[in-house]
Amino acid sequence: MLVRIYILILITIVGTLAVKNSSTVLRRYYIKKDFFSGLKLGQFSIFDSTQKNLLYRLKSYYKIGGKLELIDQSSKKVIGNLTNAKGGEFSLFDSSSNQWINGKIERLFNMLDCKAIIKWNKRSIFMQTKFAWLTTTFEHEYHSGLLAKVKKRSISFISTNRYDLQILSNDLPDTFYFFGLAIADQQKSYGRKG
């Protein structure tokens, strides 16, 4: 009888952990970094999961500290700005409230990986890119749930960086994660820590 109780408790614990750690992918994006952007920040093309329909562009400009604009390809309108990559100041247009909301990416110094707290719309999101630079995750600051995951497709010195973005939650607009990826990629590419 005691063995059955232990087995039931073990099954309950394992089942609870499996449900908590399971992540259903709601949407997917394919992201391709431009091959050459000179001394500017990297530029990115963001496609749907079929890799055929260009949805967004992250366009960079020459500016001290770096500048990126997020452009919705269907309307050709700017829906996001990153005005200082080093300081991580950005603004995204929130279509649900029909207003621009400012945010800040605060890098956390670490020698082996990229970590940051992204503050936007009264929320704090923890972003972490692991040592091998293959996976970047976004979750609530106190690790209460995974929101999105970016996986680098391959490591190559002769081709452009390509990423798969998986959206796991509807808590934030999908466009929120594009600037985080750009910052992590820039930090990896140029070795700018902190």
Model confidence over 49-98: pLDDT tens digits? 999 999 999 998 776 667 889 999 999 999 999 887 666 789 999 888 89
Give a yes or no: residue 94 inside a domain: yes
With respect to residue 43, please indicate whether it lies within any of the assigned structural domains.
yes
For residue 161 the two structure tokens come to 């960086």
Specify the higher pLDDT residue, 177 or 64: 177
Q: Does 5 reside within a domain?
A: no
- Residue 104 covered by a domain: yes
This prediction has a pTM of: 0.77
Consecutive H or E run containing 9: helix 2-21
Pick from 65, 66, 121: nearest CA to 92: 121
Bridge partners, 44 (sequence order)? 33, 58
9 lies in some domain:
no
Report if residue 10 sits inside a domain: no
What confidence score (pLDDT) does residue 174 get? Answer: 92
Decide if 42 is inside a domain. yes
- Residue 88 is predicted with a pLDDT of 78
Query: Which domain range does residue 64 map to?
Result: 26-190
Domain total in the chain: 1
Phi-psi region of 145 (alpha: psi -120 to 50; beta: other; left: phi over 0): left
Query: In this structure, is residue 14 part of a structural domain?
Result: no
pLDDT in tens, 138-166: 998 877 789 999 998 876 666 678 899 99
What is the pLDDT, as a whole number, of residue 113? Answer: 72
